[in-house]
Amino acid sequence: MTKRWHLDRDELAAWRSFVDMHHLLHGHLGRCLQRDFGLSDSDFEILVNLSEAPGGRMRAYELGRATMWEKSRLSHHLSRMEKRGLISREVDPEADPRYPQIVLTEAGRAAIESAAPVNAARVRELFVDVLGPERLAVFRQASEDVMAAVEEQRQNLSDE
C-alpha cells in the first residue's frame, strides 16, 4: 500500500472535529470546575485518582502513570495542592523514605465529593446524552483502538 503524506478532506475534517471537540469540552469542564469549586482540571484529575485508590493514597510514580504526567509537572502540581491542603505527603515507615505516599486529605476528599457529581452531570449532559448508547459504544471502541495503536508505537520507539 502506498503511503499518503497528507489527510484527505474527510480525514482532516474528522481529525479537526475531534481536536476541536476535545479542546472545547475539556476547556469548558475545566472552567466550570474552577468557577464552581476553585479546582483546576489538573487538581480534579489528581483528586479523582486519589479518591479511587485504596485508602486515598498512591505513590507519586503510580499517580504519574495514572495521569500520564511528566515527573516535574506532577511534583510541582502536588506541591501547589499540598499548600492548599488538598493532599499531603506521608512517609511509609516500611518503604524508602525518599518516596512518600501522596494522600488525599479531608479537605481534598470534601472537594472531590462536592465537585465530582456536578462534573459527572455535565459530562452526561454534554457527552453521554449527546452521543446516546450506540454511538457512545462506538466512540469508546474507537478511542480504545487509537490508544492501543499509540501505546504500541510508544513501545516501539522506546525499544529503539
Q: Which domains does the chain have, with CATH numbers?
A: 42-118 (1.10.10.10)
Instruction: Please enumerate, as own/partner, the contacts of 87-91 that have beta carbons within 8 Å and a separation of 24 or more.
Output: 87/46, 87/50, 90/57
Q: Is it the case that residue 1 has pLDDT exceeding 60?
A: no
Q: Would you say 74 and 67 are in contact if contact means Cβ atoms under 8 Å apart? A: yes
Neighbours of 18 (CB within 10 A): 13
pLDDT in tens, 38-81: 999 999 999 999 999 999 999 999 999 999 999 999 999 999 99
Q: Is it the case that residue 2 has pLDDT exceeding 70?
A: no
Report the predicted TM-score, pTM, of the whole model to 2 decimal places: 0.87
Measured CA to CA, the distance from residue 61 to residue 84 in angstroms comes to 21
Distances (CA, A) of 151 to 3, 11, 14, 103, 107: 21, 22, 21, 29, 35
